[in-house]
Amino acid sequence: MERIHMNHMRELIYRLRAGESQRRIARDLNMSRTTVGKYRTWAEAQGYLDETRPLPDDATLAAAWGEPPQPAHAASSVEPYREVVQDWVEQGVEMMAIWQHLQDDYQYRGSYSSVRRFVNKIRTAVPEVFVRVHTAPGEEAQVDFGSVGQLYDPASGRLRRAHVFVATLCYSRHQYAELVFDQKTPTWIGLHRHAFESWGGVPKRIVPDNLKAAVIKAQVHDPIIGEAYRRMAQHYGFVISPTRPRTPRHKGKVENGVHYVKRNFMAGREFLDIHTANQHLRTWVKERAGTREHGTTHRVPLYLFDEHEKAALLPLPEEPFTLREVRLVTVHPDCHVRIDKSYYSVPYVYVGQKLDAYIGERIVEIYRGVELVATHERSLQPGEWHTRLEHYPQHKAAYLERTPAYCRQVAARLGEATSQVVEALLGDRPLYRLRSVQAILRLEETVGAERLEAACARALYFGDHSYRRIKAILNAALDREPLPEKTPDMPDQKHVFARSGNEFFANDEEVAA
């Protein structure tokens, strides 16, 4: 006979007593009429159709029918390895890896499907238990973004994808919400500032989702916090406590808040633009979301905030945190990055790399990840250069240290002729000629000041004061020879043509003829 549950057996007897037909009972209890008939025969023989008798209890039915037969199950091929498999499951090893480990280490020849069924059975045998964490007033706030579709952007004149930022105080469930068009670091930091100013204080801990603006690399125990966000936390005095990856329950309060805004404020509504939407959102948070009875606390969020949480928040600092912008910049071969048409030097080892520039109101800081590599005062107008010589290789720095002014001072010390050579070279395109001047002055290190001064005098006499000519004079020791005296008929010009210009023009005319 088909075995049915004891509760169904009592229900069947109860319905028979009520005079229902076997057809109706079979349909309602989802069993065959043959089964109903067989149980009717048994109940009638035992006298249970008599309405004066109580319905049989579980013990009576079990004594009469025995325990329901259990379906036959073949033992899993993974059963001999239960302990080791259970250890791997607790360590978070994936099922495919478990199957491969069994094959490699235990010569297991069963299928992957067998391992999958066995692991799923282990997991369901030990249900996952969660502890609901209750926080004290002012202790914690959770923050997150959620997509809300498209809104009109007056600045660009087009529809853009919008996001809602929601910050939820975990004790009172009071919220701050704002609609924005991006999730960049300046926006993320500005939204925190708006939330703190709206609440009139700062919670002791902020639990953000693992988005890039807040957490550069999400790790369970040692998250590397984005430098701008870290600085903001230190400025306001709160602690950043990122959620663990792929654990949405750790930030359930704010995720419920994001969904609540999307379902109750945004759903079915249209706004002229994002500014209008934010005006309505601020009113809605205060007059609707803040005054409702919360589904978990069964208290009014705004009441709990005003009566208990607001006084427990950390006070706002005298000056708000300001960060103008964070930008990705490239280090060019001249060891500078370009920011707003001005140039800032960084160490030459970073040439070709992309760095993060934190642009404040007065300071520009350049980071590689969380490592500070350069700090400069921010330019007040475009076209300015901020250069530190220590950022260049040694030989390049030496070149920059010997400026035109420095070279003039050295030349004046060496003598009048050397000064005239340097001044002649620097007078025309000084930066282009600077290397030549530096090379000439370095000759003092090998020949001495007296010989260099004599070589410069000889070069000036013959009208060729290039580095190559001065070097050739020194190599040939011509600086030791006296200069030829000028004759009375020697023209003042140092170079004259041997033939007159008329002769050239006459030749041209002959060619043309």
pLDDT digits (tens, 9 = 90+) for 202-252: 999 998 876 666 665 554 444 545 777 888 888 999 988 876 544 444 444
- Average pLDDT on 400-415 reads 82
Q: Which H or E run contains 140? A: strand 140-153
Looking at residue 504, its pLDDT comes to 47
Q: Predicted confidence band at 387 (pLDDT cuts at 50, 70, 90)?
A: confident
What distance in Å separates the CA atoms of residue 103 and residue 100, rounded to the nearest whole number? 5
Task: Show the CA angle centred on residue 430, arms to residues 454 and 377, nearest 5°.
Answer: 130
Query: What pTM was computed for the model?
Result: 0.52
Please report, as a single letter, which amino acid is at residue 28: D
What distance in Å separates the CA atoms of residue 255 and residue 166, rounded to the nearest whole number? 9
pLDDT mean across residues, the chain: 81
Given a cut of 50, is residue 511 above it in pLDDT? Answer: no
Q: Predicted confidence band at 255 (pLDDT cuts at 50, 70, 90)?
A: low
Looking at residue 154, its pLDDT comes to 93
CB-count exposure of residue 173 (10 Å: 0-12, 13-18, 19+): buried
Looking at residue 203, its pLDDT comes to 95
Given a cut of 50, is residue 349 above it in pLDDT? Answer: yes
Beta bridge partners of 314: 202
CA distances from 456 to 451, 464, 487 (A): 9, 9, 22
Q: At what angle do helices 112-125 and 82-90 cross, to 10 degrees?
A: 70
Distance of CA 380 to the CA centre of its chain: 29
Parallel/antiparallel/unpaired status of strands 342-345 and 336-339:
antiparallel
Q: Predicted confidence band at 86 (pLDDT cuts at 50, 70, 90)?
A: confident
Give the strands of the sheet with 363-368, arranged side by side: 325-330, 354-359, 363-368, 371-377
Note the pLDDT tens digit of each residue in 434-449: 778 888 988 988 899 9
Q: Predicted confidence band at 125 (pLDDT cuts at 50, 70, 90)?
A: low
Q: Find the range with the poorest average confidence among 289-293, 407-411, 453-457, 498-502.
A: 498-502
- Percent of the chain topping pLDDT 70: 80
Q: Which H or E run contains 483? A: none
Given a cut of 60, is residue 496 above it in pLDDT? Answer: no
- The pair of structure tokens assigned to 448 is 């001495």
Looking at residue 497, its pLDDT comes to 46
Looking at residue 218, its pLDDT comes to 53
What is the helix, strand, coil percentage profile of the chain, to 5?
45, 15, 35
Parallel/antiparallel/unpaired status of strands 140-153 and 158-169:
antiparallel
Given a cut of 80, is residue 16 above it in pLDDT? Answer: yes
